[in-house]
A and B are shown apart, each in its own frame.
Chain A
């Protein structure tokens, strides 16, 4: 039965169904409703869990790390500055191969202060060694969260479930929540074979010198690459339980015959699909939904882009002084195709700028029939608003 639920409430209830034993969080917009929801479920006795309301995100990640290392399923959630404050701990969690799940309610980074949605926060953790899964809808956020625990625990890697702030977290829509039986059947009881146990004392997080450090990184990288199989498997297995797919690593949708592709991460996909559907006169596109950004599914991406002449990579973040973040990675992956599409790279919707239906025609017109890849641009920026020297 579909329920009308705010994204955050749905996530809180989904996390509870996954039976975390320790949840640690520090409130930050737009993540707050998720942890408030979990706190209420704990307070009402619906979830047997230590809810640790810490004094900073740095400690939220650290409490989750300690809890998972001590043998309990752990969860945290954050966004924006909170992700940055966690940064050194996030690298440590993945480097120690500690499985836990975090929701990132994607939001812009300061300065200047902006509390609205883009994906600069999770993109800034691109190289942290965390699995990153992006959700296009709240239903996907629900289903991905359940999958994330299994992926994390099987791969001994942390998983960041990226959910667009406000656009998803604060939007009410009809959703299917899984039942407790479905989740319990899918998700085994938490176990961590490198856990801290006085009966079998081991040292975690020791000093590793040059003679072993490269091997540690190699093993981490290989584990991330192998996680691709687990991400696809988790999606397929969960689909067998609930009848819903989230798109594995990368999913091609829209017009399969189209020669033009648009690659996105997160919720902007729905807007573009609606735009294309709303006007039959517009050129058709194949939508490439990149669900797994880390690990980066190069092989699956090449399959999804087969037959395209042009591919627009539309992102919600950028690397100032270089351009896009996802775009160059996509281009590198596609170079190995026999006839790779031209990759055009744009950013849009930064700091919560509204992504309206005309975005579709705007980006499609910009690249249509282009001889060469278009230069990177923040396509919805209005330089006219700036002093001449800044344009």
Chain B
């Protein structure tokens, strides 16, 4: 294989390739200078606090919003000019349930099948109902479905046209753990068939089920890579502190917050996570507390959540 061919192949394997995306609403940048690449067949987790620009980014990728600056391609189509083509090959699941509440499960799916111009919308709807375990609920009005079933119906709707790329915007918000697990199994099954999935989420356990993750806060992409890479890249020193009484932990929280070297203090049940980027400064600050017998200090690897809370704090500092 010659070199240009290899380059061509690697370009084909990049499903989302955008550079410098910026989107402003009323002069306020919601997404700033965002660049990302997503490889074919990966599950790409998109993380960040509320209002960080995740939904806006997803909408720019599927042609629902026009970026103010930056350019890029989605499935090889220009996100500015080829939105009609993108819409044919991308399945988008909105954050809020956006199918017709007054249509039944079957009617919703048949409608979508007809819009995508499927040859046999009825058969496609039947197949989707069977695949998603909605059999027996075909004639139920969408409005009457519980959150978990609505989410399943929405997944069925956005995968109905056999898209090459799925954009899922917080698909599991407000769904119980069992339904979430089933949902993720389905996502992995789809990815195994070669589908690329970009999924935004708040849940750390979901982030850990992604092949790659990106963290966005206040419009900036702060970190990306595999979970291990992101954790390693944070250079956080983390201690888990436990104490006999919760009053003692509360007091420790107040005392440590804002001290040199302490970037994050966060309670986790009966323990406290204390983390900082500057290991030396952190050690110096906590040394007096470690000397006493009141607290038990344990050095630990940072969790993904530690990393994100710390990233978010850093981003807010930069933002203000």
Whether both chains belong to one complex is answered with no
A residues near B (Cβ < 8 Å) are: none
B residues near A (Cβ < 8 Å) are: none
